[in-house]
Chain A
């Protein structure tokens, strides 16, 4: 499969270790990449570089082989963009904004505009300043999707949308993908990425920590285990068990994290009287957080090598 989006050593240095550093990333044509990271990680900087809005300090970005800086105009013929911060259009009506942007872009089918508006129940007759936060976001989505772009670059696109409209948006992304579009979706909401992404890229402090298939990310999940004993806790045996981390003991209860198989832990318990065992699979959110926490049980590098069996 050819790369729709390709970055090579892409960097934007804002100083004081802020910005984006040495991003090497490929998004295949027709793929949906979820681009995850906390606030200030560099997601929006990446997107602004792809859109040619800011100039890189180093490296390059290409969309369908076109340089995002030197061939920015040509690139944007193929791209639909939903910005992270909504532009302010003041007293213009939604219909006027769409007409203006359609005039700039050319080749916009009014029927597509109407279809998207109907899906989101968006009235274009209202003035922009009268729109609620959610309706402004819907308008931004209309502007991003109205020309049926081959690449969608979406910067936290569901902010302000209610759950029903979020679902509608996910459906639209899936449909776009089925129609062959490539989607680059920036988000800090894992469930959002889980809904529609084929692959996830995780960014932290301006650096890409990990790219993985969504299924792969599920596999590296660890489990949180709580064990209650009738008698004394075999603490030393538990601590010595392979794959067991973050052991916390209180009275007759042990809480710990287990990576990989449960066999070493079970062996450590075999001589003790266990009253109850509860195992809890962390949400992807918790897995995600461990990527960001420098002092967490799993570092980014660890995850790639973590056993996949739980």
Chain B
């Protein structure tokens, strides 16, 4: 069981380690580029960052001593890694606690004589082992990045201490999700419920950074609070031993709670069984007209996902737009960040910054949305739905085209909700985004997202099982090329390899026609190739 559990965790380990290493290296390099090399420039940079950092207190801890590279790494890297590792822990725990059960693996193990206690403890220990490896390699990469960027390494002791604190937090999030997952009946439910609980405790801590009355609440419920209070790398910072120890103890207590809850429930059901809502019995097909129209049926099937994506992205858009005015004032006063002014585009600088802040992030989110859709196409194949669709008089070409059409509609839904939220958020900051420009910028997001989907469609048609991993890697590399390339002064040819570079800055600079044509060509070409490949390959599990 140990070996099999390790295998199940292996992909996550490789992905997280790769991401952590890359992120660490890049952030260390960014410091050198943005802060300059003189003591004066770094001091000025630090002061500006401390002011700027307060705007991001919803996601990052408050910065201290960021004029030093160690302080910057503590804030910018080890402040953001809990989000990254927490997300990984959340998904891993949902998969281990309910995903394996959904796939029947748990039943197999129980039938083979593995007890529930042993099952939970083994999964926890395997995750702990992978987390140790991922965090150790990430920290090593960060230190390497610092050596390359600044010529000197970070102090080993504090690096170890902050890594230990990160491990304690990651394990706490994992065990918390495992415990919460016992109240859900499916992997999706576990991830959703776990995400809700972890999200709530995360944001309680985030808000407590600026709302003092929330501090007592954060102290009681949020493991993130105990991670934040120790900042070993920051100048004058310290490693909070009781807090870290407390997190380790909490994770063990939560594992014990998970074992108890799991022993109290039936396999395949939640601790508290909610009687399913009675639905009138019927022997007739649904009268819903949307289901009769294949493209709309595909949209209808994912209606709640579209709403969730729209609300999630909309919240983020609103938040970023609402802080755009303060951010611009800060950027104008910072020599290190003036490079952003040249990247933002022309026209009203507030609108330009809103566009730069938001669309930079939204492009990444939209590409992730496209990846989720490609994952769905791959699953159609692996789970037999494609086979069922092709048992009807439907050509494979039609399947590919209907997928594309349905995705355009889904993206349009998410984009519409988000753009509305952006406009509202900007209004709260007294920034007026011209409706025409916002409409153009929003419409251009569709060919952008579709070009990712088209690449994914090719992959899903040729090798459905590998499609998501390959597309996610390409997306990640593309995004980093676009976001960090200009800051790190990478050559133009390298930046143009990224689809992200094709979108331009339509909110202020109008349509980048070359980019639009290339995105359109990728989209059309990709789906044509996908259709051809689909015709040629065998379908099925």
Contact = CB atoms under 8 A, between A and B. Distances in A.
Interface in A92-111: 92-93, 95-96, 98-106, 108, 110
A85 B281 contact: no
Contacts of A79: 391
B538 interface: yes
B329 interface: no
Given A73-B393, A125-B279, A95 B285 contact: yes
Interface in B389-414: 389-395
Contacts of B285: 95, 98-99, 102, 108, 110, 113, 124
B383 to A, nearest CB: 4
Given A54-B538, A73-B394, A125 B282 contact: yes
Given A51-B391, A53-B387, A103-B292, 8 more contacts: A48-B538, A73-B393, A85-B384, A100-B292, A102-B285, A123-B281, A123-B283, A143-B388
A123 B279 CA distance: 10
Contacts of B293: 103
Interface stretch (A114-122, A156-164, A299-307): A114-122
Contacts of B34: none
Interface string A114-152: 100110001111100110000000000001000000000
B390 A51 contact: yes
Interface string B445-456: 000000000000
A89 B385 contact: yes
15 contacts: A53-B390, A76-B394, A83-B391, A87-B387, A88-B384, A99-B285, A101-B388, A102-B292, A103-B291, A104-B394, A117-B284, A125-B281, A125-B282, A126-B279, A143-B388
Complex A-B, nearest 3 residue pairs according to Cβ-Cβ distance, in ascending order: A87-B384, A117-B283, A103-B292
A125 B278 CA distance: 9
B280 interface: yes
A72 interface: yes
A161 B143 CA distance: 62
Interface in B489-541: 536-541
Contact of B294 (A52, A55, A104): A104
Contacts of A51: 390-391
Interface in A189-207: none
Interface residues of B, number: 36
A74 interface: yes
B283 A52 contact: no
Given A85-B384, A89-B385, A130-B276, A52 B390 contact: yes
B301 A73 contact: no
A85 B390 CA distance: 15
Question: Max chain B CB contacts within 10 Å: which of A52, A96, A103?
Answer: A103
B297 interface: yes
B186 interface: yes
Question: Max chain A CB contacts within 10 Å: which of B287, B393, B538, B539?
Answer: B393
B288 interface: yes
A113 B285 CA distance: 7
Contacts of A103: 291-294, 297
Interface residues of A, number: 46
Interface of B: 186, 276, 279-288, 291-294, 297, 301, 383-385, 387-395, 536-541
A180 B383 CA distance: 33
Contact of A53 (B281, B301, B394, B540): B540
Contacts of A113: 283-285
Contacts of B538: 48, 53-55
B241 to A, nearest CB: 47
A77 interface: yes
A99 B286 contact: yes
Given A74-B393, A130-B276, A55 B536 contact: yes
A99 B539 contact: no
B171 to A, nearest CB: 31
A95 B282 contact: yes
Nearest to B386: A87
A87 B282 contact: no
Nearest to B297: A100
A140 to B, nearest CB: 8
Interface string A66-81: 0000001110110101
Given A53-B539, A54-B540, A85-B384, A124 B288 contact: no
Contacts of B297: 99-100, 103
Nearest to A126: B279
A179 interface: no
Given A55-B538, A77-B393, A130-B276, A99 B291 contact: yes
A249 interface: no
Contacts of B385: 87-89
Contacts of A85: 384, 541
Question: Max chain B CB contacts within 10 Å: which of A99, A113, A114?
Answer: A99
Contacts of A95: 282, 284-286
